[in-house]
Amino acid sequence: MPAFSLDPDRLAWCAELRTRADRQLRPLADQGEPGRVNRPLLAELGRLGLLSRLFTSGALDLCLTRESLARSCSEAETALALQGLGAHPVHTHGTDAQRARWLPGVSDGTTVAAFALTEPEAGSDAAALALRATPDGADGWRLTGDKCWISNAPEADFYTVFARTEPDVAGARGVTAFLVPADRPGLTGAALDMLSPHPVGTLRFDAVPVTAADVLGEPGHGFRVAMGTLNLFRPSVGAFAVGMAQAALDATLDHTAHRKAFGGTLSDLQTVAHQVAEMALRTEAARLMVYAAATAYDEGAADIPLRAAMAKLLATETAQYVVDTAVQLHGARALRRGHLLEHLYREVRAPRIYEGASEVQRGIIASRLYAAERSQGGH
């Protein structure tokens, strides 16, 4: 069902991508080991030119890519998204030398990137970062502290790391973004046993050396790097969620149309038909909001943080509802290992937490609305 007046070329490209994902990426995903980086899958994403598109396409195309992949192969979608999240700060804020060193490998799927923001005591409150960057020499620092819940850790080849370079400055100010190769002395990591198809781990920084050549952007302005990245990727997290919701809806339509029950099919039961209608309604509403937020980003609109938060919130909460309802309408068969819905049921939960939990998105939305009210002199 076309939405948002997408042009025929984009619709055709999305259909082709879903086919390629099903035929070329799904088999590689199935051969992967849960909790490990699937490097053959990454290499195939690179060969198909999808990773290089992370640095040449706008937000709407990123959303269309993630949604299309999610409908056929959520593992491929996540692998692509993590490459983008970890490497986007290098693309937008890196030096020529940094981009030349790292982005070609990210684009062809041979270099694994990671975005290292979250800490044990700084998850939803990202401004509470405690990883210390202590001055070391004329233009260097030593990083000391921990990061946790980091996707692709400890297997990534480099990390975009956010550390506090000005300890006396509280909140978002005084944070610097660094590009830290995985082989730096003093940097170690450990895998966490998570409900996740990709690695999630911890990182420990024991006086890890970094210099001015490793800074992304400007010292003291790392929070701007982080939020700029999240403003781009939050709508596309919503697109991932929409893709999963659509996959669950497609499966439910097929199942309820053919499943015999009570002298007819499940679709003949009004309660079932109305549930399916609600699933479709919510999925399409979330899709439209995601596309609108992505378009606003591409056009440089002033309200991007508000739209990004709304899109991620609505889409991820919608996907949770749609997948849960799909499981209910399928019955016990949906909970068998290997069933599409069993897979989606596990996958759909995490997006409501990462890149800003639903509660954080509501806070962003409310603060933006009240700030606009104050600026207009409201009473």
335-373: per-residue pLDDT in tens?
A: 999 999 999 999 999 999 988 899 999 999 999 999 988
Q: Return mean pLDDT, the chain.
A: 93
Name the architecture of domain 113-220.
Beta Barrel (2.40)
Backbone angles phi, psi at 203, to 5 degrees: -130, 135
Question: Which of the four CATH numbers 1.10.3720.10, 3.40.50.300, 1.10.10.10, 1.20.140.10 does domain 224-375 have?
Answer: 1.20.140.10
> pLDDT band at 297, cuts 50/70/90?
very high
Instruction: Kindly report which listed range (116-130, 132-146, 197-211, 212-226) carries the lowest average pLDDT score.
Output: 116-130
pTM of the model: 0.91
Diameter over CA atoms, the chain: 81
In eight-state DSSP terms, residue 130 is: -
User: Among candidates 105, 77, 78, which has minimal Cα distance to 91?
Assistant: 105
Q: Where are the domains of the chain?
A: 8-108, 113-220, 224-375
Q: Which two tokens stand for residue 349?
A: 């939960």
Residue type at 317? E
**Angle at which helices 39-47 and 74-93 cross, to 10°:** 70
Q: What is the DSSP letter of 23?
A: I
pLDDT (average), residues 12-17: 95
Residue 184's nearest CA partner among 217, 151, 146, 211 is 211
Q: Binning pLDDT at 50, 70 and 90, where does residue 282 land?
A: very high
Pairing mode, strands 215-216 and 200-211: unpaired
* 218 classed as catalytic: no
CA nearest neighbour of 241 among 320, 186, 183, 163: 320
**pLDDT tens digits, one per residue of 48-84:** 999 999 999 899 999 999 999 999 999 999 999 999 9
Are 158 and 152 in contact, with CB atoms under 8 Å apart? no
Catalytic choice (33, 317, 355, 373): 355
Which CA distances in Å does 293 have to 61, 252, 282, 316?
Answer: 12, 28, 17, 14
Architecture per CATH, 8-108: Orthogonal Bundle (1.10)
Confidence of residue 1 (pLDDT cuts 50, 70, 90): very low
Which residues, at least 6 apart from 295, have a Cβ–Cβ distance to it below 8 Å? 4, 59, 60
Fold matches, 8-108 and 113-220: no
Q: Running DSSP on this structure, what letter comes out for residue 122?
A: B
- Tokens 């509403």: give the residue: 285
- What number is the average pLDDT over the span 43-52? 97
